[in-house]
Amino acid sequence: MAVLKWEGKGEFEELLRGIIDEVTKSAISAEVIAAERTISGTVKTALLVFEKYYMRNESRASLSVQIVAESGNIKVVSVGSGGGRGVFFNFSWGAEESFAQTIADYLEGKGFVRV
């Protein structure tokens, strides 16, 4: 499992659409499995779940992205998991880290800082 975090400023809906676009264009096999949004007062949250097939080890990896925004301040957490192969050793060749990193360039291009 790989967990990456960023903080920055921006517009919630624009960032949400941008992350979906970035992940789905990263590979033919990358797709959105779930997208849930919640608004509670001034806080907006989204949970995105993606799945991607890795041919090199014949497995699927999952990417969960949580976005929390309040007053223009946004926190993003990217969690890559799965991608391992084998019952006992679960050797993944770095699929989790690679998938979690998919949105890094996009976020950093928007001025987000990794924390």
Residue ranges covered by each domain of the chain:
2-114
Q: What is the CATH number of domain 2-114?
A: 3.30.530
Q: What is the pLDDT of residues 60-80, one digit of tens each?
A: 788 999 999 999 999 999 998
Task: Give me the pLDDT at residue 94, please.
Answer: 62
Q: What is the pLDDT of residue 26?
A: 87
Read off the pLDDT of residues 10-61 as tens digits, 9 standing for 90 and up. 999 999 999 999 999 988 889 999 999 999 999 999 999 999 887 766 777 8
- Neighbour tally for 2: CB within 10 Å: 19
- Which residue, 11, 14, 1, is CA-closest to 81? 1
More confident: 82 or 72: 72
Q: Which of 55, 100, 60, 93 is nearest to 77 (CA)?
A: 100
Which letter does DSSP use for residue 1 in this model? -
pTM of this prediction? 0.87
